Amino acid sequence: MKPNFSIEGKVAIVTGASKGIGYGLAKAIAASGAKVAVTARNRDDLTALVDEISAEGGIASAYSLDVRDVIAIRSVFQQVVNDFGSLDILVNNAGFGEGMLAEDVTEQYWDDMLDTNLKGVFFCCQAAGRYMLEQGYGKIVNISSQVSIVGIPEGVAYCASKGGVNQLTKVLALEWSSRGVNINAVGPTFIHTPGTAERLETPEFKANVLSRIPMGRIGTIDDVAGAVIYLASPASDLVTGTLLVVDGGWTAQ
């Protein structure tokens, strides 16, 4: 008997899909046969992504969503269900990771980080979960980070937000898994994207990162996409409440 990794025909929401990991995840999920609703604060930023997915034979629609706005989350998720007829997969990717020394952290910076990376994730889970619980099936994948379990300098707010993502993932799994909804998280290491290229192509910074990764290479969007598609598929039906770290061994040390 072969594991079933198919998400063909499922309806997925990918938040924060206008660039970086989210952009690549949306394309990978669509290429795997799911219908994809992609969101970003500015809907126009999603035009190229929707066009690329459509050109490759996939189905995608774009929605404007600021995940800090709980009312907007509920409205957009309802619209996705109206447009596609169901909601089977949620990939919570929206977030940001700008670093700041702890002594320089302001209340506004802290609130922006936690509102986006933690509050937004929870209320997207809640909005999706209500539909998934009603239909008795769903897969939620929260994009966490390796720094949810290890610290990095200048990361006090970011690390706190991602640690919170891990904990809410566990609690939701305890509450919802018996009712057909699996909730897991993926924790990537440094991933090469257009947004991270400048730092990762700086020799000193890259050397420091590679010195911490036993496998000796920077992560790719495909590395993350493989983990996400696994957790979104029936192959992971007995997996819930866990963090799948995609870090080349960084956190094994």
Active-site residue identified among 23, 63, 131, 158 = 158
**Active site includes 158?**
yes
> Distance between CA 42 and CA 25 in Å, rounded?
18
Question: Is 9:83 a contact under the CB 8 Å cutoff?
Answer: no
SS3 59: strand
Question: Is 46:54 a contact under the CB 8 Å cutoff?
Answer: no
Measured CA distances, 101 to 114, 155, 157 (Å): 16, 7, 10
Question: Is 61:37 a contact under the CB 8 Å cutoff?
Answer: yes
Q: CA-CA-CA-CA torsion for 29, 45, 243, 137, nearest 10 degrees?
A: -50
The pairs formed by 54-58 with CB atoms below 8 angstroms and a separation of 24 or more are 56/27, 56/30, 56/31, 58/27, 58/30, 58/31
The answer for residues whose C-beta is within 8 angstroms of residue 58's C-beta and 6 or more apart is 27, 30, 31, 35, 36
Question: Is 46:18 a contact under the CB 8 Å cutoff?
Answer: yes
> Distance between CA 84 and CA 81 in Å, rounded?
5
- Would you please indicate which residues are annotated as catalytic (active-site) residues? 158
